[in-house]
């Protein structure tokens, strides 16, 4: 794997052109300010829908409607995914893409309250803030489209509506279809608990459902006639847990048993376990995966069962572009953070008391932190884009400082104006960074040169999910 060396990142960020918020840029930001109420409504509607991966019918419709009303040409159902879309405005080069996510996470619901309070009717919740992610990108794109027209600047702005980031790899199918082939730069962001650009590599990952099949019988009356599929799952898990001692230390393996039988006195003839495997190096993921498949076969042989599996998703690691990250950081610093109202302070203090060893303190949302260069232990399907197009990301403090992703606290803050303030900061940062590149297309050329050097001459793209069709029902299975 190509290692991303951070030692020159801060120096590179200084090369970004100094921002002067003149009439042109002020008008760009004013367009986003004018959209505040509309963006708030869209984001909170999507927060309430809390639709899971590839099922985001109402969420994608809201974003597409906003873009169409803003003068974008919208193409829905791309890459064989009904909820995926591409929206485009302008013409010519450079082509700058903004990413828009909108799927929720399953099994975790929460009201917009600072105490644990579930919403039983919901199948999931926006514990990763994708309702904010998609809305901010749409808002920025609409502002950029207007700015390009008002200033007679050549270029194309696109929004890629990318479903199922959480375990569905929606963007990978879009990359595989060649939908990013003519893009010069991809600007992305993600909700978080601080404001800063992120020039971090992530972990490549792959997931699969392993299905064990046996023979059922009365667990007491005729156990000798049965072969337990759950025994196969448990033997497999035991073997994988022993394997943890013999893999590179940065490897992450985690699982849930999604089906293990219905009654103790019936030997289950079917059981399923759902695995994630992560490592910074995609080739290492492939190598360890072969050992996992061998373990599954061994577990089946040892328990008299059979096993099959289905690859559910796969993402490459993130290859961040340092030049674009420097532009993002500079724009974040010029914009600055934001303050809470007295009511929001009370909410934040209540949330803060529920956090375990928070890394950041209350009030830190008012500042912009230095660019993050540490390797992230998470994974994202943005990774596949970043190995095909120069790509960079940043975060804004859409959650109370110290809040981890995939938590009820993240859902709660994301359903309040704390989240909306972070959304607006993100939209402005995206818009300013895109404007930098549109005004100086040479930046896209420099970003591409860095990208090719980092990626290496011998790179050949091979998605970790292989040639499978989009797993449109992956959230519907047990």
Q: What is the CATH number of the domain that holds 282?
A: 3.30.70.360
Helices (H) and strands (E) in the chain, counts: 14, 14
Residue 1: pLDDT over 70: no
Can you give 286-332 as a three-state secondary structure string?
Answer: HHHHHHHHHHHHHHHHHHCCEEEEEEEEEECCCCCCHHHHHHHHHHH
Specify the 3-state DSSP secondary structure of 253.
Answer: strand
Chosen domain end from 255, 289, 315 = 315
Q: Which helix (H) or strand (E) holds 342?
A: helix 342-352
Residue 423, in any domain of the structure = yes
- Inter-CA distances, 90 with 102, 151, 259, 389, Å: 24, 12, 50, 20
Please state the rounded mean pLDDT for residues 469-473. Answer: 96
Instruction: Let me know if residue 464 belongs to a domain.
Output: no
Strands 391-397, 155-161: pairing is unpaired
Q: Tell me what the mean pLDDT of segment 445-453 comes to.
A: 97
Here the CATH number for the domain that contains residue 130 is 3.40.630.10
Question: What length is written for the chain?
Answer: 478
pTM: 0.92
Quote the number of domains for the chain: 2
Among 396, 431, 19, which residue's Cα sits nearest to residue 193?
A: 396
* Tokens (6 digits) for 310: 């289905």
Tens-digit pLDDT profile for residues 354-397: 999 999 999 999 999 999 888 888 899 999 999 999 999 999 99
Q: Return the closest-CA partner of residue 206 out of 470, 465, 467, 424.
A: 465
Whether residue 176 is contained in a domain is answered as yes
**Cα separations (Å) of 190 from 35, 165, 241, 288, 315?**
20, 12, 32, 29, 17
Alpha helices (H) along 129-223: 130-150, 170-176
Residues 194 and 322 in one domain: yes
Question: Do 193 and 325 belong together in one domain?
Answer: yes
pLDDT over 90, % of the chain: 91
209 with 271, same domain? yes
Please choose, from the candidates 477, 386, 370, the residue with its C-alpha nearest in 3D space to the C-alpha of residue 13: 370
- Who's near 365: CB < 8 A, 6+ residues apart? 193, 194, 195, 337, 338, 339, 340, 397, 401, 422
List the domain range (segments joined by +) for residue 291: 204-315
196 lies in the same domain as 208: no
Residues 128 and 247 in one domain: no
> What would the two tokens of residue 356 be?
């375990």
Q: Answer yes or no: do 377 and 419 share one domain.
A: yes
- Give the mean pLDDT of the chain: 94
pLDDT in tens, 35-88: 999 999 999 999 999 999 999 999 999 999 999 999 999 999 999 999 999 999
Residues 224 and 237 in one domain: yes
Asked whether 45 and 62 are in contact (CB, 8 A), the reply is yes
């Amino acid at each position: 794997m190509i290692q991303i060396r951070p030692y020159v990142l801060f120096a590179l960020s200084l090369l970004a052109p100094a921002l002067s918020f003149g009439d042109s840029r002020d008008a760009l930001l004013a367009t986003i300010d004018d959209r505040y109420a509309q963006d708030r409504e869209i984001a909170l509607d999507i927060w309430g829908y809390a639709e899971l991966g590839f099922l985001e019918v109402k969420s994608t419709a809201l974003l597409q409607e906003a873009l169409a009303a803003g003068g974008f040409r919208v193409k829905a159902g791309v890459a064989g995914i009904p909820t995926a879309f591409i929206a485009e405005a302008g013409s010519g080069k450079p082509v700058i893409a903004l990413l828009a996510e909108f799927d929720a996470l399953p099994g975790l619901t929460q009201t917009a309250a600072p105490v644990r309070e579930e919403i039983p009717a919901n199948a999931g919740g926006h514990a990763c803030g994708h309702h904010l992610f998609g809305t901010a990108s749409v808002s920025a794109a609409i502002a950029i489209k207007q700015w390009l027209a008002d200033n007679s600047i050549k270029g194309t702005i696109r929004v890629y509506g990318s479903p199922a980031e959480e375990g569905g790899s929606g963007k990978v199918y879009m990359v595989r279809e060649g939908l990013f082939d003519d893009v010069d730069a991809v600007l992305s962001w993600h909700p978080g608990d601080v404001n800063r650009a992120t020039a971090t590599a992530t972990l490549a990952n792959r997931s699969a459902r392993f299905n064990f099949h046996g023979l059922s019988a009365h667990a007491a009356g005729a156990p000798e006639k049965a072969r337990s599929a759950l025994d196969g799952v448990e033997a497999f898990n035991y073997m994988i847990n022993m394997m943890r001692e013999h893999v590179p230390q940065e490897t992450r393996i985690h699982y849930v048993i999604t089906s293990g039988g219905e009654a103790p006195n019936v030997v289950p003839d079917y059981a399923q376990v759902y695995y994630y495997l992560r490592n910074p190096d995609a080739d290492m993921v492939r190598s360890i995966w072969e050992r996992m498949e061998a373990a599954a076969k061994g577990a089946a042989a040892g328990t008299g069962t059979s096993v099959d599996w289905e690859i559910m998703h796969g993402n490459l690691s993130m290859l961040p572009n340092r030049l674009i990250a420097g532009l993002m950081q500079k724009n974040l610093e010029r914009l600055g953070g934001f303050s809470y109202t007295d009511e929001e302070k009370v909410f934040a203090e209540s949330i803060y008391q529920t956090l375990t060893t928070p890394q950041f303190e209350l009030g830190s949302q008012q500042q912009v932190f230095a660019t993050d260069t540490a390797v992230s232990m998470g994974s994202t399907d943005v990774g596949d884009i970043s190995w095909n197009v120069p790509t960079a990301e940043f975060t804004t403090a859409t959650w109370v400082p110290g809040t981890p992703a995939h938590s009820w606290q993240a859902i709660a803050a994301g359903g309040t104006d704390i989240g909306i303030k972070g959304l607006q900061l993100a939209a402005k940062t995206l818009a300013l960074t895109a404007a930098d590149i549109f005004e100086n297309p040479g930046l896209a050329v420099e970003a591409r040169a860095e990208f090719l050097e980092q990626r290496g001459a011998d790179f050949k793209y091979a998605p970790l999910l292989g040639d499978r069709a989009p797993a449109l029902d992956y959230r519907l299975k047990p």
